[in-house]
Amino acid sequence: MKEKIAVIIPALNEEESIGLALDAIPKGLAEWIVVVDGGSKDKTSEIARKKGAAVLEGRTLGYGDACLKGLKFIDPLNPQIIVFMDGDYSDFPQEMALLVGPLLKGEADFTVGSRLRGRRESGAMPFHALWGNKLVCFLINLLHGFKYTDLGPFRAIRYDRLKELKMMDRTYGWTVEMQVKAVIKKLKILEIPVSYRKRAGVSKISGTFSGSMRAGIKIILTILKLFFDKPGI
């Protein structure tokens, strides 16, 4: 029986890119595509609907909150695999099969798209984002004993294993929470090299120094919390 795949895309003011991102998802790969609009003031939701995505609207607390709302919506439909990607067209959605393939073959429970191992357009990751990312991966290896190279948002995970992680973070810590809990829970993890381009528009996080600092502090605190206070997962 064919396994059902759902794609969840958090988005905020991405009218320049959301249509491109949705068009690039391989036809027939996903059963459901859900765009969670966190309170856009532009035509993000309108464009996503025209492209055939289910759209959830309403202000969110942040990236993690949008992902949790998408999961709550998709849960009654009983998907087997969840793919997360950004709506800014920095990822290459046409590479989605690279992430999903190992899950379908039973080779992994969780795949993370590594921008550092793949082909990265010059300037796609600002200097502070690149080195901050490396620092965080070093800390995960030091404290939790797993060598990630990236915290890339383009990722896929078996839904039953994701539920075991009991995800909680509603802001910047979502991606690292998932990766650290996957290590703690001993999921089969694979990093997959993926391509990465300059995003359309300005990033809400890495596009500003203050945004990068807030995200960096939250991510490091999340790693430390999961080390000193092991969650009951």
Task: Please give the pLDDT value at position 213.
Answer: 75
Question: Of 48 and 124, which is predicted with more confidence?
Answer: 48
Would you say residue 51 has pLDDT above 50?
yes
**Beta strand 81-84 with 5-11: parallel, antiparallel or unpaired?**
parallel
Q: For the ranges 27-31, 50-54, 221-225, which has the lowest average pLDDT?
A: 221-225
Q: Residue range 31-48: average pLDDT? A: 97
Q: What pLDDT was estimated at residue 174?
A: 95
Q: Nearest to residue 88, comparing CAs of 148, 32, 132, 24?
A: 24
Query: Tell me, what's the pLDDT at 93?
Result: 97
Question: What pLDDT, on the 0 to 100 scale, is given for residue 27?
Answer: 95
What is residue 130's predicted lDDT score, i.e. its pLDDT?
Answer: 86
| Structure tokens belonging to residue 177 | 């929470």
**Domains of the chain (ranges, CATH numbers):** 5-228 (3.90.550.10)
pLDDT greater than 80 at residue 204 = no
62, 218 in Cβ contact below 8 A? no
User: In the chain, how long is the greatest CA-to-CA distance?
Assistant: 48
Does the pLDDT at position 26 exceed 60? Answer: yes
Percent of the chain with pLDDT over 70: 93
pTM of the model: 0.92
The pLDDT score that the predictor gives to residue 131 is 87
pLDDT tens track for 8-24 = 999 999 999 999 999 99
